[in-house]
Amino acid sequence: DRVPLHDFADSDADERLLHLDQALTRLAHVDPVAARVVELHHFAGINQEDVAATLGVSTYQIRQKWTFARSWLKATLSDS
């Protein structure tokens, strides 16, 4: 038996992902480094030390950017 793929589609997950993408785009305008930290650390799974090496900044700065980005995204996504 064939089952249409749309039966498995999770429109809520799709909508959340779209909101996250839009929020990351806005974050990139506010703080491009913080947005890049989110991409590398959260989505690519790179640890903070390697993110720091990749971006050429200290691990302390990456931790600051990560903390800021998480707070900013949480506030932004809770408004939508």
Task: Give residue-wise pLDDT tens across range 21-52.
Answer: 999 999 999 999 999 999 999 999 999 999 99
Taking the C-alpha atoms of residue 8 and residue 26, their distance in angstroms, rounded to an integer, is 30
Q: Residue 57 carries which DSSP code?
A: S
Is 16's pLDDT higher than 60? yes
**Token pair 């809770």: residue:** 78
Q: What is the pLDDT of residue 11?
A: 63
pLDDT per residue as tens digits for the range 46-78:
999 999 999 999 999 999 999 999 999 999 999
Alpha carbon distance 17, 8 (integer Å): 16
CB atoms within 10 A of CB 64: 15
